[in-house]
Structure 1
Amino acid sequence: MATVRICVCGDEGCGKSSLITSLVKDTFISNRIQAVLPQITIPPTLGTPENVTTTIVDTSALPQDRANLARELRRSNVILLVYSDPYSYERVALFWLPYFRSLGVNLPVILCANKSDLVSSSTSAQIMEEEMLPVMSEFKEIDSCIRTSAREHHNVNEAFFLCQKAVTHPIAPLFDAKESTLKPAAVAALLRIFYLSDKDKDGLLNDKEMQDFQLKCFDKNLSPEDLQHIKHTIEHHLHGAASDRGITSQGFLLLNKLYAEKGRHETIWVMLRTFQYTDSLSLQESFLHPKFDVPEFASAELSPAGYRFLVDLFLTSDRDNDGGLRDEELASLFAPTPGIPQLWVDNNFPSCTVRNDAGHVTLQGWLAQWSMTTFTSPKTTLEYLAYLGFESPDRSTTAALKLTKPRKRRRTRPARVSRNVLLAHVLGAPQSGKSALLDAFLARPFSNLYLPTIQPRVAVNTVELPGGRQCYLILKEQGESEAAVLDNKSKLLDQCDVIVYAYDSSDPDSFAYIPNIRKMYPYLEDIPAVYVALKADLDRTTQRAEFQPDEYTASIQRMPQGPPISTSVTWPSIQDLFAVISEAGLDPATAYPRPLDDDDGGELMRYGLVLAAVVCAGAAAVVIWRRSTLSTG
């Protein structure tokens, strides 16, 4: 529950204490009251807005009480500055407002012209124009102005309500009174609200979308008459901004500008807070970055609700229905966000995912990209789901994600992994064909031009497994940072599902790289592995290595894969390789290149004993034969 602390200031005799008494007693007390009233706290049950408790502090303007006044000002949330005659009015600009500034208090000020019962009603408008507007234009801290009368109980409640509203619904972040324009941060927030409310992404809020918006923000229906009135008002001020088809974004901004000009900025704040904005017009931190911890060896994936949201977002953003997102469509889609995620930029999006012939991201590529983002950085996915307007019953974006069971790193009988997104690191000597493998994964045409990979590169796509199941596979090539990545054992072990060791079967010096790095980094034995002999369309050559590839893989105990998979990125069968890689990640027992476990060692010992017995029996037979030969000779 919020608390608003109001400091009532002004010259002696301007009616500060009478205003407070009139508010509390609901009547004017004519007899003399004490000079300074004690602090008063008004609970929210007396009609204060938004469940706010209000504390009102009376102050003295006497020089000897200046220290206490400064202390109360620094403790308060808003200032009610009262004047009642020409002298006290002059003091507003000459003393009071400069004094507030000298203290360094940055509080909204409500300017109150009290004792309005002494002025004829015909001159009220003139006083507003001649007195209040000039000082408001000079001092931006003045939030609003009001004329009151404690004697007649005129606008007393309204004055304190303005104080509450200045704290709970501040105008300063929204509107520049001098320029009569919405401030840039407010424009950005309202445009995001417009984009999110424009469900069909046609650039207009139609009647249905306006009704949904009204219910979401204000929990009540918008009558057809009220809707028509809103449209007529917008069209009157800005031609073409409202029609039977709907309200444009500029019309929506104009409507909120009119609210601010008429002092109805609480209406704007209801919209902003419904869409999770703070008083500083930033999205709430708990909304952008909710708590979502991924345990060690587990991973984050999109839930069915998350995939449905992203599918719907793609379909509504694909305005020309060509099955791909053009640059303009992507820009429109990411309009409510800070832009394309930096993680995507670092991965050279959109070249890291599936595109059509025109180079536009397909739905398959769109979902693959978000699956990879969720796997590598779930916090990024949650942040962008918040920006893009994902909604769930509990208003949390975490409903769009789910956790997988932790993968177990063990040498004996590793269990099958239950996950839909897998990461495979592709390791191998330079020019072994790693980049071409990533291109083939994304169905890119083969090029004979060799371009060394400097920066890390990723490719993500769906893979169809035996039985028709699909999963998302991320292939990652490290480029020149490969050694640094391998040095970071914990990071590689935590996220990597399978290692793809690739070599050029036509280059005699290509394979030796693989045994060398496996000796250098023994922990690689704890990660499932697939060995691939690339460029099989070229003449195969003998490798200059201690062991030939077939011998090397055979020497690794319990390697069910057998010899390296011989393939070429120019062959259609290359797609089968990606299914093998995915299966190795999902079922580690089929691809663990590791030393013998205890059971295997015991079994081999038994075989060794049998073999030793056979050898000993043979040797004994030879000795007996030689002795018999010598005796007969």
Structure 2
Amino acid sequence: MSVQPTYSGRRTGVRVVVAGDRGTGKSSLIVALATETFADNLPPVLPPTTLPADLYPDGIPVTVIDTSSSMESSMKRSEELKRADAVMLTYACDQPMTLSRISSYWLPELRRLEVNVPVILVGCKLDLRDEHDPMNMEAVMTPIMQRYREIETCIECSAATFLQVPDAFYYAQKAVLHPTLPLFDQETQSLQPRCVSALRRIFTLCDHDMDGALNDQELNGFQVKCFNAPLQPEEIIGVQRVVQEKLPEGVNENGLTLDGFLFLHALFIEKGRLETTWAVMRKFGYEDDLKLRDDFLTLPFKAAPDQSVELTTEALEFLRGIFRLHDTDNDGAVRPTELDMLFATAPESPWSEIPYLDAAERTALGDLTLNGFLSEWALMTLIDPKKSMANLIYIGYRGDPASALHLTRRRKVDRKKQKTERNVFNCFVFGPKNAGKSAIINSFIERPFSKSGTTTTGERWAVNAVDEIGGNKKTLVLREIPEDEVKKLLSKKNSLAACDVAVFVYDSSDERSWKRSKELLAEVARKGDESEDYLVPCLLIAAKDDLDPYPMAVRDSLGISQELGIEAPIRVSMKQSNLNNVFGRIVHAAKHPHLSIPETETRKNRKKYRQLFNRSLTFVSVGTAAAVVGLVAYRAYAARKSASA
């Protein structure tokens, strides 16, 4: 199915550090490889040795670092080990104690230093082993390799006879350029989940007629793309025969199935041909962690702090199609198992952790509706456009990535034009503890009101579509800012740049809650005063309206609203399901970014200054115009006088 591949990753070199007990043959091993000679009198530690790029098929140079095993050199050795791409641990075949030290000292030491790279165990001085005391290498090494999964392979060699010396360093280079661990689980003897996901995506991309199998033409197209050489008809028959003998369902009347495709790659890996599978992975853009390379995910723009990113109509249509494809029972929602299948070609489901976990509306059975599905994508695109673009590609988006994302206009321009073209609004939800923020957020994504009174800790996100007057929909993102995180948030330079509107929730029955919410509003307003680029519309929300109100809060909040020139507090009760169109009013404030901005003393003074400055300019302009007219009149008079003379 393949020809001998060359390395197609982005590494330009491999750094191999050789360590082990004194007298195990480290330096002799390195010299033998570099010079193909055996030397007796060597310095305690060799200088770095660079092997030529053409020594091995992948064409990548290897730099070999010798180390001392002495206690005095432990710090230097540790530094080198931490910089290694691969580590070769040596033992002497004629000194059994040095082999014991591999598992009793050296491997635990690498773990202590957190050296997470492939390890090659190398037995040196094979020519000196006692012929009357042969060692069963498999029996000795298997328990060690089972305990220390970082061991890539074991090999014994002789510098004196040059036996398997190049092979030892080849395995070290190969372990770096074509690592086993991302592809294959040695313990279960099966492909890693991410490897399966990547191969599933590659298979889907190559299955052009979408019949679930690679026919001869599709298989040849895959072969040419990855290895620049077509398969002969007899080779295709041979591949299918091998698969069918071991896995009957791996081939059907249409060609090689996904199961057969996965089986072939598992077979390559088991036979030590990892470079074949890695050549495929890298041709389709995968890094060693089996995620797409950064150059596949370059955003087509650079966003200013007060710009946001949204999905285009083309991307949304693609997502609706993908949703319908996986909604097998056509009930308008995808079950968790269906959602897993939807993301089966991605490294993992992107919504399995905060902030996406439980951020969107679901049915009573926990299924994700189309609205919830698109809302999750809107949230991911807003806060992590690169991740959104990557997952679009993972699940099969074949258009130009630039056509999937749209960069919105700067918010300061929207404010000047007194309107916005955005479809997704980011709302920061401030408020003291127990003010009712969580109840509002739960209501937003159709979660029932809880009477338990429990409070949430940490930041939380929620996203949903909101109906506008006129029948249009906008997507609103609520980001709950914990009270004890406000100071940290506002200490950042552009902390409010991503905020389309800020709301301040308080318990209308509690004096402290109102006072603290008022303080938070003042802090946010002052932050906006630092730069007019980041002024934010603000709204007050009086929660728990079913309780007896705190009288001073009612009067004070109305006064504060009038003083700052913002809307009067929106009174809501989640317990009584009295929402007072709060989410629509938040969207309305975000749509009109020039309104609802607190008129602080700083802003008022700034406006007065501008008015005075503009008046001065007007006065100067009028005076200048008068002077110009006078000068023209004088010149005309002087000209007439001169002519009459």
Q: Secondary structure at the match of 1:355?
A: coil
List alignment gaps of at least 5 residues for structure 1.
23-31, 58-69, 82-89, 115-129, 148-154, 606-633
Q: Which residue of 1 aligns with 2:474?
A: 471
Residues 464-520 of structure 1 show CA distances to partners (whole Å, capped at 9, x for unaligned) of 546776432123456xx446547853476344322345689xx7x479965763256
Report the residue type matching 2:362 in the other structure. R
Residues 410-432 of structure 1 show CA distances to partners (whole Å, capped at 9, x for unaligned) of 9x968645543222245679998
Residues 120-170 of structure 1 show CA distances to partners (whole Å, capped at 9, x for unaligned) of xxxxxxxxxx999889879967959899xxxxxxx9999997786566445
Does the CA contact (< 8 Å) of 1:486 and 1:521 recur in 2?
no
Does the CA contact (< 8 Å) of 1:175 and 1:260 recur in 2?
yes
Q: Of 591, 599, 623, which aligns to 2:596? A: 591
Matches within 5 A, 1:210-609: 214=223, 217-219=226-228, 226-244=235-253, 251-274=260-283, 283=291, 295-302=304-311, 307=316, 310-311=319-320, 313-335=322-344, 336-339=346-349, 341=351, 343-344=353-354, 349=358, 352-356=359-363, 359-377=366-384, 381=388, 404=408, 406-408=410-412, 416-417=419-420, 419-426=422-429, 438=441, 441-442=444-445, 444=446, 450-452=451-453, 454-455=455-456, 458-465=461-468, 470-476=473-479, 481-482=482-483, 485=486, 488-490=489-491, 493-500=496-503, 509=509, 514=514, 517-519=517-519, 521-525=521-525, 527-530=536-539, 544-545=551-552, 548=555, 552=559, 555-556=562-563, 558-559=565-566, 577-595=582-600, 597-598=604-605
CA shift in 2, pair 1:379/1:3, >3 Å: closer
Does the CA contact (< 8 Å) of 1:511 and 1:549 recur in 2?
no
Q: For 2:308 and 2:471, locate their aligned partners in 1 and report how far apart those are by CA, in whole Å.
A: 23
Q: Secondary structure at the match of 1:51?
A: coil
Q: For 1:267 and 1:603, locate their aligned partners in 2 and report how far apart those are by CA, in whole Å.
A: 69
Q: Which residue of 2 aligns with 1:625?
A: none
Report the residue type matching 1:360 in the other structure. D
Does the CA contact (< 8 Å) of 1:298 and 1:405 recur in 2?
yes
Does the CA contact (< 8 Å) of 1:4 and 1:167 recur in 2?
no
Does the CA contact (< 8 Å) of 2:419 and 2:592 recur in 1?
yes
Does the CA contact (< 8 Å) of 1:434 and 1:502 recur in 2?
yes
Report the residue type matching 1:260 in the other structure. I
Q: Of 2, 9, 14, which aligns to 2:13? A: 2
| Greater Cα offset, 328-337 or 302-311 | 302-311
1:366 CA displacement: 1.3
CA shift in 2, pair 1:256/1:95, >3 Å: farther
Residues 79-105 of structure 1 show CA distances to partners (whole Å, capped at 9, x for unaligned) of 8x9xxxxxxxx9689799889999889
Q: For 1:283 and 1:17, locate their aligned partners in 2 and report how far apart those are by CA, in whole Å.
A: 38
1:601 CA displacement: 5.2
Q: For 2:577 and 2:352, locate their aligned partners in 1 and report how far apart those are by CA, in whole Å.
A: 34
Q: Which residue of 2 aligns with 1:26?
A: none
Does the CA contact (< 8 Å) of 2:311 and 2:406 recur in 1?
yes
CA shift in 2, pair 1:320/1:169, >3 Å: same
Does the CA contact (< 8 Å) of 1:334 and 1:388 recur in 2?
yes
1:527 CA displacement: 3.3
Q: Secondary structure at the match of 2:58?
A: helix
Q: Secondary structure at the match of 2:496?
A: helix
Report the residue type matching 1:362 in the other structure. T
| Greater Cα offset, 595-604 or 309-318 | 595-604
1:602 CA displacement: 8.7
Matches within 5 A, 1:96-135: 108=120
Q: Which residue of 2 aligns with 1:194?
A: 199
1:357 CA displacement: 6.6
1:363 CA displacement: 2.3
Q: For 1:313 and 1:328, locate their aligned partners in 2 and report how far apart those are by CA, in whole Å.
A: 15
Does the CA contact (< 8 Å) of 1:190 and 1:253 recur in 2?
no
CA shift in 2, pair 1:50/1:403, >3 Å: farther
Does the CA contact (< 8 Å) of 2:431 and 2:483 recur in 1?
no
Q: For 2:231 and 2:335, locate their aligned partners in 1 and report how far apart those are by CA, in whole Å.
A: 36
Report the residue type matching 1:517 in the other structure. S
Report the residue type matching 1:518 in the other structure. K
CA shift in 2, pair 1:159/1:495, >3 Å: closer
CA shift in 2, pair 1:271/1:450, >3 Å: same
Q: For 1:203 and 1:327, locate their aligned partners in 2 and report how far apart those are by CA, in whole Å.
A: 24
Q: Secondary structure at the match of 1:493?
A: coil
Report the residue type matching 1:373 in the other structure. M
Q: For 1:301 and 1:483, locate their aligned partners in 2 and report how far apart those are by CA, in whole Å.
A: 30
CA shift in 2, pair 1:107/1:158, >3 Å: closer
Residues 10-32 of structure 1 show CA distances to partners (whole Å, capped at 9, x for unaligned) of 99xxxx9999999xxxxxxxxx9
Quick check: which has more Rg, 1 or 2?
Answer: 1
Q: For 1:365 and 1:515, locate their aligned partners in 2 and report how far apart those are by CA, in whole Å.
A: 36
List alignment gaps of at least 5 residues for structure 2.
1-11, 66-76, 111-117, 127-134, 146-150, 158-163, 526-534, 613-645
Residues 239-271 of structure 1 show CA distances to partners (whole Å, capped at 9, x for unaligned) of 434433666665444323322344433212223
Q: For 2:502 and 2:394, locate their aligned partners in 1 and report how far apart those are by CA, in whole Å.
A: 35
1:574 CA displacement: 6.5
Q: For 1:382 and 1:524, locate their aligned partners in 2 and report how far apart those are by CA, in whole Å.
A: 32
Q: For 1:158 and 1:483, locate their aligned partners in 2 and report how far apart those are by CA, in whole Å.
A: 59
Report the residue type matching 1:365 in the other structure. G
Q: Give the TM-score normalised by the residue count of structure 1.
A: 0.59
Q: For 1:348 and 1:259, locate their aligned partners in 2 and report how far apart those are by CA, in whole Å.
A: 38
Does the CA contact (< 8 Å) of 1:235 and 1:242 recur in 2?
yes
Q: For 1:520 and 1:257, locate their aligned partners in 2 and report how far apart those are by CA, in whole Å.
A: 58
CA RMSD of aligned residues (A): 6.6
1:51 aligns with 2:56: no
Report the residue type matching 2:265 in the other structure. N
Report the residue type matching 2:517 in the other structure. I
Residues 303-324 of structure 1 show CA distances to partners (whole Å, capped at 9, x for unaligned) of 6676566545534433334321
Q: For 1:278 and 1:206, locate their aligned partners in 2 and report how far apart those are by CA, in whole Å.
A: 26
Q: Secondary structure at the match of 1:328?
A: helix
Does the CA contact (< 8 Å) of 2:326 and 2:334 recur in 1?
yes
Does the CA contact (< 8 Å) of 2:122 and 2:154 recur in 1?
yes
Q: Secondary structure at the match of 1:52?
A: coil
Q: For 1:174 and 1:449, locate their aligned partners in 2 and report how far apart those are by CA, in whole Å.
A: 46
Does the CA contact (< 8 Å) of 2:503 and 2:538 recur in 1?
yes
